[in-house]
Amino acid sequence: MCKSPLHNLLTALPKCEHHVHLEGTLSPELLFELAAKNNIALPPVSSQASREVGADAVDPAFASPGALYARYAEFTSLDDFLHYYYIGFRVLLTASDFEALTYAYLRRAATGLSGPASAPRSSNVRHTEVFFDPQGHTPRGIPPSTIITGFHAAAARAERDFGITAQLIPCLLRHLPVSSAEETFTSLIDAGFFASGALAGLGLCSTELDRPPALYAPIFSRAAALGIRRTAHAGEEGPPGYVSAAVRELGVQRVDHGVRAAEEEGVMRGLREAGVLLTVCPLSNVALRGVHEVREVPVRVFLERGVKFSLNSDDPAYFGGYVQENYCAVEEAFGLSVGEWRTIARNAVEGSWCGEERKGVILREVEEVVREWVEREGGEL
């Protein structure tokens, strides 16, 4: 629980999350549990065990969940994190593994609970749009259909149980050749996953430096021609110019992270004029050393310049917080007003891809929660 007087408003505020990687919700505990169940070898923790040809390098972080958590607290960069993130993929094999992973995340996002259901609710994500990385699974013999089946089974159950709605977005991986991204995108189209609504849009992630958005322009223009919504990670480690390139050359409706846009007024103006929403992830930025502390995330600058953003967890199992913890960290760092939180909550709903009817429902909930708070506690709107 954060120390802010607005804490109870922040837990009650209806939220939309647009930037969370399904594989980034894999906790160290579940990683070890699935490795044991699926008989998957993790990197050896001592040189005794690593003599085979092609074996992983020795890494004492895989000694226990506690050792992994300690290593996660010391990430030095995006690529340092991605090394661990992709190792985690290995334990996910079956549709039921993906269903378990998805349901645990949705329950936590909707209720704040990871333990017993009797505890009071302390988070209120009403709608979430979740990334996954097909190219991290197909080489292991796991087709996108396995992930999509598991995800939607969990989403249906979580909607019944908690009233949260969820959509799924594949991200193409920038550390692999562009030809692999093209093949992946083509196979997802051919399988009819976009046309059926099983996939809600297209994303782009992984290593950013030296992978300019323009490399992916042909794929994204194909997506545009097919009426597929688009988003891309940009301006996390990469320069502000990558943010404007994502908007101009990929035609994205959202930019994931985008925080380095604040370094250039012209880039901010472009975002404002295009009405693009940034999916900002404050605790992720601290964990991966983009900033030293949340106070350096340009939240205030974006609010003052009218650049829209939502607040998100990115990879909550790796970065020490879900959406709720990100909201609290921002409030502790900036002390925003009730009116500013209302703007953030409304922009998050409006930047969602869930359809006008659902957006209308959540917007009304936002207004009700804010109105009740102001009537009870006072405060500026």
Q: Footprint of ligand HPA on this chain (CB under 6 A)?
A: 21, 24, 78, 85, 205-206, 233, 236, 284, 314-315
Q: Which conformational region is residue 302 in: left (phi greater than 0), alpha (psi within -120 to 50 degrees), or beta?
A: alpha
Which CB, 44 or 316, lies closer to Zn ion?
A: 316
Which CB, 62 or 89, lies closer to ligand HPA?
A: 89
Residue 7 labelled as part of a binding site: no
Site for Zn ion (CB under 5 A): which residue of 23, 133, 314, 325? 314
Give least dist CB 267 to Zn ion, A: 19
| Residue 23 lies near Zn ion (rule: CB under 5 A) | no
Give least dist CB 312 to Zn ion, A: 8
Q: Tell me the two tokens of residue 179.
A: 């030809």
Catalytic residue (choose from 236, 237, 325, 340) = 236
Which CB, 85 or 98, lies closer to ligand HPA?
A: 85
Phi–psi pair at 205, nearest 5 degrees = -150, -165
Contact 315, 28 (CB under 8 A): no
Give least dist CB 310 to Zn ion, A: 13
Which CB, 7 or 69, lies closer to ligand HPA?
A: 69
How far apart CA 67 and CA 147 sit, in angstroms, is: 28
Residue 133 labelled as part of a binding site: no
Residue 127 labelled as part of a binding site: no
Cβ neighbours for 292, distance < 8 A, ≥ 6 positions apart: 286
CA nearest neighbour of 192 among 228, 166, 159: 228
How far apart CA 131 and CA 192 sit, in angstroms, is: 18
DSSP state, residue 276: P
DSSP state, residue 366: H
Which CB, 129 or 314, lies closer to Zn ion?
A: 314
Three-state secondary-structure class, residue 337: coil
Contact 135, 178 (CB under 8 A): no
Residue 233 labelled as part of a binding site: yes
236 a catalytic residue:
yes
CA nearest neighbour of 152 among 170, 136, 138, 168: 168
Give least dist CB 82 to ligand HPA, A: 6
78 binds, among Zn ion, ligand HPA, none (CB under 5 to 8 A by kind): ligand HPA
206 binds, among Zn ion, ligand HPA, none (CB under 5 to 8 A by kind): ligand HPA
List of residues contacting Zn ion (CB under 5 A): 314
Residues assigned a catalytic role? 236
Q: Which residues are annotated as a binding site for substrate?
A: 315
